[in-house]
Each structure stands twice: as structure tokens, then as C-alpha cells.
Structure 1
Amino acid sequence: MTVRSAWLLPGGTDSPGQTREDTRLAPVGTMLPDGELGTRPGVIPGGDPFAATGAGAMSLQVATGRAQVQGTAAQGAYPVCLDAPEVVTFADGDAQFDRIDTVCLHVYDALFDTAGQNLAAVEVIVGSATDTPTAPTLDPACLPLWDVRVPAGASAGVGGIDWTSALTDRRRYTAAVGGIVPRGALSDVGAYDGQYADVEGLLYRWSTADDEWQLYRAPELPVETITDGADTATGWTLNSFDARRHGRVVQILGYWVRSGETLTTNPNIADTLIATLPTGWRPVVLVEAIASNGYGFGAVAIGTDGKLTVRSWAGGEKANALEKDTNVRVAATFVQ
């Protein structure tokens, strides 16, 4: 048994059971393929298309939405738009067993089926009542939206269907060709290399070579290293310099010998330039690097201009001093 709320497709004729006469095909562009001549059927994302809400003890309201309904290979695909909510009513439950009914979009085309009309319908396809009920098999050009479990004995007179627990979401989503399918499923088969799907918040890419969905990982960024290019300031001698960049993350480690006079705190050390980092290896904001000479330690500011300036120090052979002829190590990690 089928319960139907229907509307005309362009070119159709009036027929009994129609409740709308001006709903139109939706312009949806070139949609995701599902083979050489087929189109992936599904709901077009945007808001909460075809949302289901209990409208009565045995009635369900289906909200507005757009979808692509694929028929047989000869038919092709039908773009469908439901521009006003539709209410469908369910038959009373079986006396002994539960059953599962499916709410779907069904496209009728007089050129390809025996219904003799051109229309799209929101239908309830009634399942079989058994001790282990399953959803009914759908005809071609049917797109499932919701499964509804109808309990044994359910009717309007005894409270009807519990809409808080009876619904199972069957909406399958689709997108324009090249787009990412939201709320996809790994059980779906991809159509081409490079097709993407968002499955539970993770991005997957279809591989025809491996015939599977593969979790997408961003390309590994190259690692660059340099050992020169730092311009050493007066009062210092460069011992060694190493820098490494992975993506936008830069690490530097420089060894400089204090060749100028000892820098003392009185009580603060005078800001003193050590070196300037090469262009392309500088931070996007001012950062503080750690420095040490084995006796004391301090902080070296690294500006967006690449200048390394020591501006605080504590400890040393001499009280709170950065001694001459000591090897000062400067280390930092920052984002460009």
C-alpha cells in the first residue's frame, strides 16, 4: 500500500490524489555523477531539508527541500523541489507485529512507468509486519527520506506513533560535481578519483585504483634547512647557526661568542643586538628566545625585522653579567 501526497511535474496532467498544482522542478546545476550516465541521488544540503516532525498521532510533516531523484538508466535524474511542507498519514499498526514504513520522494514519468501521470510525490511505502521488520524495497525513481517504525496496535485512538523514537533518518546527501558530499557514508561507492565526502566530520577521498574511501591527509610539507645567512652584529663572533622550517614553523639554534666587553646588569642589561635573521626566516610577531652561556641565562627578543636583541640576563661568573669570551646559545621556535 502507498500513501501519497503529490504534485505535478511540468507537462503533467491533473489526476486524483494531487494536492499541489504548481510545484516545480528545481534548477540544481550539474550534479555529482554516479557512473557514466547516472547521477548520485540525494538531498541537496542547505538548512535541514525534508526534516520530519510529528503532526498528529499517525501523521508526519515533511519540511521543504530540494533533491535529485535518479530513475532507471534510461530515465536519468529528476531535480525535485518541495516548496511547502507536506503531511502524510500512516495506516494503523498490525494487530500482532511492528512494521517499518518508508517516507520517500517518488517521481512518476508517463514515458517510463505505468502510472500514466507525470508527478512527484511524498509517499509512505508500507512495510511488512513481522517479528523482525525491515524497511520495504523501493521502486526506481524513489529517494528514501525517513523510516518510521509503526508499533503493533498503533492507532490514533490509543496514542499513535511515538515520534521521539520512531524515526530513522534515511536522507542521503548529494552535491554539485566536484563538491564535497556532506554526511556521506563509507558504504557508498564513489564514482571517480578525487571525489570527496564528509563522513562524521572527517574528509575522505575516493580512490578507483583501490576501490575504497581513503581518509584525506594534507600533503606533507617540505622541510627546509639553512646554516648561514644570519648577519652577526659588532661585539659578537658567529660560531654556528642552524635553522629548520617545516611549513610555517621555524626553529633556530645559534651559537655566538661574546667578543665585545662584558655586559653587566645595572640593574638591567642594556639591549644589545646579537644578529639579524635572513629574510624569509623571521617571525610574524615579536617572540622571546631563550639564551644561555653555561653560567647564566636570559631572554633574546626576535622582532619581525629578524633582529635578535638580548635584553635580560641573570647569573654568571660575575654577578648578573654576560661575560666576554663566553659561548652564548640562542634557541627559539616560532611561526612565520
Structure 2
Amino acid sequence: MNLRSSWVTETGQTREDTRLTQIGATTAANPVQVRSGILPGSYNGQHRLSGFWMTGASAMSATVSDGRAVIQGDISQGAYPVTLPAAETVTFGPGDAQYNRVDLVVLKVYDPLYDGPGRNEAVVEVIVGRADAAPKAPAAPPRSLPLYEVTVPAGASAGNGGINWNTALKDLRTAVVSLGGILPVEGQVVPGAYPGQFQDSGGALQRWDGGAWVPYPSALGGIIPNSAGTLTATYTGQYRDTAGGVLQRWNGSAWKPAVPGPYFWGSNDAGWTTSTTYTPTLSETVDTPLKVNFVVPASGAVLVNYGARISSASTTAAWMALRITQGTTTYYTENDEIAVVHTSATASSIASVTRFYGMTPGLTYTITGMFKVGANTTQIKGNFDSTFIMVTPQN
């Protein structure tokens, strides 16, 4: 067997064995034990974990590539460094006549101090599973590191199609690094051993806070940079920058602008009405009704600027007011109290600002411009041009 180990054989450990297996990788699992796992790295630097990669070699055999690993024994047994300096071939037995089975490929250390006399070596080994209608992989034996589960189809053999290597393999490999190093996560996510430990989840740097792995910016309370824009938020109130330069805040279910608004809509297309009651509709303009949607900030309050260039007649006023709705519910009904009003056939620009409050934070409301002229029997027109509504959230 080509797999090298150190401090297993009673005699015969060579200097080459010792040099090959001095790997210095001990990712803590607790104060005494370390994680079992494989040292990360690849020959071209493009892959996180190439050690002990397995590929099909023939109908019923596979090649396990070279690599280095640590296998932790029971708490009193210590950790075994192992190295496979050249690829190894493993062979699988024929499939069951009726059912599929799942075999387990492991790195296994045989230590006569714990396994009994007769064998002291490290091997790449196939643990044969039980054929079943719902097959499961066998349990890993003591002092072993699972590499792959392999599904062996019913009836598979060298002369009968063999194993489908495109679908048969389930990668179980996990990585380890030296104490204090940043662990590249592959496979199962394992709890940290101490607060302040770091790992790379593949898309984000994470820190163990004593109970969970949290994204590194979250741990600092900092703003997630736009380079990590796909990072999942971990608490309500977390902030992130976006590629467009807009600061966003996580509200518990979605990213929203941290400072929303202002929201604006205006029209330079003049329109008119002869209605003596408030109406959202103006004639001879394409911009009708005039509406603005806005998201209510955490304060529940907004400032609304609104106005128009208004004309009517010297004896009859023209009015612009606001209606505010949330869905089908009316929050504020238009009235004369906050309306902008002008009485003259000569147009003048009239504007005002009003604070609205008590709205539900996070919901979308709609403000609609409402228009009318004073009581008249001669169909006097109220004319409105350069009409606008601007909503500024108050934080």
C-alpha cells in the first residue's frame, strides 16, 4: 500500500515517511482533539481541495489522487498524519443481483495498540455497504476519514456496464488547516472550536461567534462591500453597499435603501378641470392622474412638497390638494385645509409643504394630486401646469 503514515509502525518508520507526513495541519475541534480532514490546495492554484480526488478508472475501479490528511483518533489516541504521494487505484466488488448498494471509500489507520496485533499501516480502503431497496452507506470505522460514497448498481460488473462514474460519486471530503488558519469549507459545515475562528464558505469570510458562523462584516458591525453583494444578511439592521452606490439596510426579509427617496413626479403638460369637487383627472394632458408611490421610513413620517402653476378667474379659485392611500385603504382624504389655492386669470406658481406621520414603516403608500375649481355656474376652468409632488422620508 502506497499510503504513508508516521508513528504507527512499531519498527520500520523511515526518514522519508517522517518527512512526508509532517504536515502541521491541526484545525482544533476541542482543547485536545483536532478535525480529521485533507490539506487544501491544487497544482494549478485553481481548486480549493484537490487531495484524494477520486475519478473512475475502469468499469469497477477508481483512481484516488495524491494528497495529505490528518485522521483524529479517540480523545486519548492522538492525530495521525498520512500522505499519499502517488495516485492509488481502488476496486469495487460486483453489484447485488437485485438491489443497489452504497460503498464507502475511506482513509483508514490500523494501529495495533487499539485494533489488536497483526496490522499497523494506513490504507485507502473500500467499506462495502449492504444492498437494499433504499441503500445507505456504511458507518465509517474508527480512525478513518471518509472520502466518497459510491453507488454500485444492481448487477454491475466489469462485463456488464459497471459503475456510472458520472452519477455514482458523492464527495465527502473536508479540509483542515494549521491552527489559526482560515479554513476553506468543503462538504459538511462543522461548528467552530473557539470564538474568533475564521472560515471561507466559498462566497464569504465567516467568523465563529461562539454559537454560529456569521459573515465577517456582520461580526464587526461593518458595511458589507459591494464586492460581496451576494452575501446573505444575518440580522435586521445590517447594511451593505451596492454596485450603484446606494446604501441598503436589511429589514428582516429584504434589502431596502437605507435612506429611501426622495420620490418625485411632475408634469409640464398643462391640464384643466371644471369640477367643483376634487378629482384626480385633468383634461387635455397625458399626465393624469398625477401619482407618486413611496416607501414609508422607520419613523413613519414624510415631508410632502407639492404645487403647480395655477390660473382660473378673478372671482373663482382653483385648488390642488392630496389624497394618500395604502393599497385600497385611504390614509388621508383630500381637503381644503392643506390645499394650494390661487384666484386669478393670471397664472402664478403656488406650492406648499406638509408633514404626514403615523404611517406603517416599510409599506408602500400612494399620493395622488386632486384638483377642483370653486363653485361656479359658467364652467370656469381651473388650469394647472408645471404640477409636481415630491416625498422626502424623515429618518
Shared fold (TM-score, shorter chain, > 0.5): yes
Deviation at 1:12, TM superposition (A): 2.4
Q: Which moved more, 1:22-31 or 1:95-104?
A: 22-31
Aligned in 2, Cα 1:207/1:129: closer, same or farther, shift over 3 Å? Answer: same
1:216 is matched with: 216
Measure how far apart 1:103 and its partner are: 0.8
Structure 2 stretches lacking a partner, 5+ long: 43-49, 224-240, 246-395
Q: CA deviation at 1:188?
A: 1.1
**SS of 2:113 mapped into structure 1:** coil
Q: CA deviation at 1:173?
A: 0.6
* 1:6 shift after superposition: 5.7
Matched, 1:12 2:9: yes
Change (3 A) 1:177 1:84: same
Opposite residue 79 of structure 1, the aligned amino acid is: P
Within the alignment, does 1:121 sit opposite 2:118 as a pair? no
CA contact (8 A) 1:5 1:87 kept: no
Q: Distance in 2 between matches of 1:143 and 1:72?
A: 13
Letter matched to residue 200 of structure 1: G
Equivalence for 2:293: none
Q: Which has the higher strand share?
A: 1
Inter-partner Cα distance in structure 2 for 1:115 and 1:82: 24
Are 2:158 and 1:159 equivalent residues in the alignment?
no
> Is contact 1:8-1:118 (8 Å) kept?
no
Q: Does the 8 Å CA contact 1:108/1:115 hold for their aligned counterparts? A: no
Which amino acid counterpart does residue 198 of structure 2 have in structure 1?
Y
Aligned residue runs from structure 1 range 1-336, under 5 A: 9=6, 12=9, 26-29=21-24, 31-47=26-42, 48-114=50-116, 116-184=118-186, 187-208=189-210, 211-217=211-217, 219=220
1:205-227: CA deviations, max 9, x gaps? 1122xx221122174569xxxxx
How many residues end up aligned between the 2 structures? 215
Distance 2:137 2:111 in 1: 24
One-letter amino acid matched to 1:84: A
The answer (yes or no) to whether the contact 2:100–2:151 under 8 Å persists in 1 is: yes
Once the 2 structures are TM-superposed, how far is the Cα of residue 160 of structure 1 from its aligned partner? 0.5
Deviations 1:40-73 (Å, cap 9, x if unpaired)?
1100001111111211110011000000101111
Distance in 2, matches of 1:128 and 1:10, equals 34
Measured in 1, the distance between the counterparts of 2:175 and 2:76 equals 23
- Superposed CA RMSD in Å reads 2.8
Rounded Cα–Cα distance in structure 1 between residues aligned with 2:85 and 2:122: 12
Instruction: Using the aligned pairs only, state the percent identity.
Output: 44
In the alignment, the residues of structure 2 paired with residue 40 and residue 8 of structure 1 have an alpha-carbon distance, to the nearest angstrom, of 17
- Matching residue's letter, 1:202: A
